[in-house]
Amino acid sequence: MSDPHCTDLQPAAGSADGTIPFTSIPKTSRLFGDFLYDYDKLSRFYEPQGRRLDSLVARAREIGTGDYDRRRVSDALERINRLAGSPDLTFRHIDTLRREGSVAVVTGQQAGLFTGPLYTIHKALTVIKLAHCLTARGVEAVPVFWIASEDHDYAEVNHCKVVDRDGRLKQVTYEAAARKEDEPVGQVRIDSAISACIDEFISLLPPSEFTPEIERDLRECYSEGVGFAEAFARLMARLFKDYGVVLLDPLDEELKQAAAPLYSKAIEQSSPIANALLERSAELERAGYHAQVHVSSDMAPLFIMDGGKRVAMTQIDGRFSLKGSERSFKVDDLVELSRKCPTCFSPNVTLRPIVQDFLLPTAAYIGGPAEIAYFGQLRAVYEKLGRPQPCVLPRASMTLIEGRHQKTMKKYKLELTDFFDGLHSAIAKVVEQSLDRDTANAFAEAEQMFSRQMEKLERALKRTDATLAAPVKLATKKILYQIEHLRTRFVHSSAHREEAAYRQVERAYATLTPDKNLQERELNVYYFLSRYGPSLIKEIYDGADVGFSNHRLLYIGGAASQVVNTKSQ
């Protein structure tokens, strides 16, 4: 299948039209910025092959000939996806994985309520698109979505956010009454409270011709008695029914059995792994980067399941101790247990990707900024366990801009970057550039005049008494503070007089940069699906970049998606 976006992976990062460089986006780490734009500085921390499509194809062919338990893993994937109600295309993809030479393009995410934030969707579409690219280049590639069902931080997944009918950001939360502390989210069972949660969620969405189907899908997928991760899988299978993404739940017992040899080796190599991670983390920090995952010399790479809970272990002098308990194991005893009962174990963040790539012939892993950061640490673990590391590529990153918000931005000469500092900052720009420019200019002139005059006074006083300079600086600071305070009051007063303008900008802010974050980190996809219907998934797919791209702006709501420029037009 040919795709015009598959010519290469690199050039997108240099593109300016319709994108924002991540270096212009708040909270972008230095590591992620260099990963995209100055890779030579940190290339030693990552698999060197795969930065360009030709080298990724070569790497994929190499990975595809590796030693994998394809039959066992594929049988488990077939069972998982039958349970999720996946389409026929998914099972054709699973059959492809049974064949030697085929590879997986993998991403993963926690099982967020109703799919969680938008970047979950962006991740899935990126693996689908890259799998198409590799297949078009002659490598049979399958998109795989790893559901992080073993994670036990329920507070991270039990909610989602939408913009309500009044244009305000709202959070919907589902509390599972019978959930145990530190229980993997995949073991949490949905109870009757989910019905009221769905009621609340639907009431916030704009009513449309698409609402009944959305409600039906949510109620059928998130039904009483279903596991939390299974419900997530069911919904993902429906959303991506045209693309055949293969869903993987690592809590599956057959997958645990297949991973048992790696668990055993990780236990035996626990101390060398911890030391290698400490050394790699220190190396990252010496290079001016951050270590995404905190590690210690006594860290064990596996949790042990104890009474349905994931319990961390420490290892000292050849013994593994359960945190918060007096129980401990010798290395040999723990290795034997891992062989007999692999379901008694759960990998921590430093081992999970290696388990993934032990089970799957992973040619490329698609991750967000945080995942890319910890892959920089994890190369040391791949080396210790003798496993090939996949090429790591960033997921597509984009802001969906509805037509009405694009009109607001054009009308008031706003760019997406104007929202990064919050609603007040955007409103101030609107007032000062569009609504009351004369008064805004008067404030600017007053600021400049006072600054000039106080500087003149300071120079004169210095000639008389140098000790008077500090009081002048303090007085200047107080005067400018009072002017800024008056400016803030003026902006609020002017904005509220122009209520229609204020509400338009407020709605745009809530949708484009909710809580000063990128939209994809906050909003749930159903806010948009309720407005534009299931065809929106195809629009996002068409607009998603594959490779080392900037943050893209995608105009939606027309006959087809359009890329919009960051500059006002």
Which helix H or strand E contains 430, and what residues bound it? helix 423-430
> What count of residues does the chain have?
569
| 429 shares its domain with 549 | no
| 28 shares its domain with 141 | yes
| 213 shares its domain with 337 | yes
Position 494 scores a pLDDT of: 63
Distance (Å, whole) CA 144 – CA 365? 10
**Predicted TM-score (pTM) of this structure:** 0.88
Q: Amino acid letter at 283?
A: E
| 336 shares its domain with 462 | no
β-partners of residue 313 are 322
Quote the domain boundaries for residue 99.
Answer: 1-402+522-569
The dihedral of CA 90, 361, 55, 382: what is its sign?
positive
Do 150 and 186 touch, CB atoms closer than 8 A?
A: yes
Q: Cα–Cα distances in Å, from 528 out to 121, 162, 195, 240, 551?
A: 12, 9, 22, 16, 19
Q: In sequence order, what DSSP letters do the residues of 278-308 get, joined into one string? A: HHHHHHHHHTT---SS---TTB-SEEEEETT
* Pair of tokens at residue 229: 């991760």
| 19 shares its domain with 103 | yes
| 479 shares its domain with 536 | no
pLDDT per position in the chain (569 positions), as tens?
345 556 677 655 555 578 999 999 999 999 999 999 999 999 999 988 888 899 999 999 999 999 999 999 999 999 999 999 999 999 999 999 999 999 999 999 999 999 999 999 999 999 999 999 999 999 999 999 999 999 989 999 999 999 999 999 999 999 998 888 889 999 999 999 999 999 999 999 999 999 999 999 999 999 999 999 999 999 999 999 999 999 999 999 999 999 999 999 999 999 999 999 999 999 999 999 999 999 999 999 999 998 888 999 999 888 999 988 888 899 999 999 999 999 999 999 999 999 999 999 999 999 999 999 999 999 999 999 999 999 999 999 999 999 999 999 998 899 999 999 888 888 777 776 655 566 655 655 566 776 677 777 778 777 777 787 788 677 777 776 676 666 666 656 665 666 778 889 899 999 999 999 999 999 999 999 999 999 999 999 999 989 888 999 999 975 333 433 333 32
| 118 shares its domain with 176 | yes
Sorted by sequence, the CB contacts under 8 Å of residue 341 that are 6+ apart come out as none
| 243 shares its domain with 133 | yes
Q: How many independent structural domains does the chain possess?
A: 2
Q: Is residue 305 a part of any domain in this protein?
A: yes
Do 405 and 507 touch, CB atoms closer than 8 A?
A: yes
Sorted by sequence, the CB contacts under 8 Å of residue 531 that are 6+ apart come out as 206, 208, 210, 402, 557
Name the H helices within 138-269.
Answer: 194-204, 211-221, 228-239, 253-268
Sorted by sequence, the CB contacts under 8 Å of residue 60 that are 6+ apart come out as 103, 134, 139, 141, 363, 364
Q: Is residue 414 a part of any domain in this protein?
A: no
Closest CA to 524 of 215, 161, 210, 205: 161
The CATH number of whichever domain residue 324 belongs to comes to 3.40.50.620
Distance (Å, whole) CA 204 – CA 198? 10
| 320 shares its domain with 290 | yes
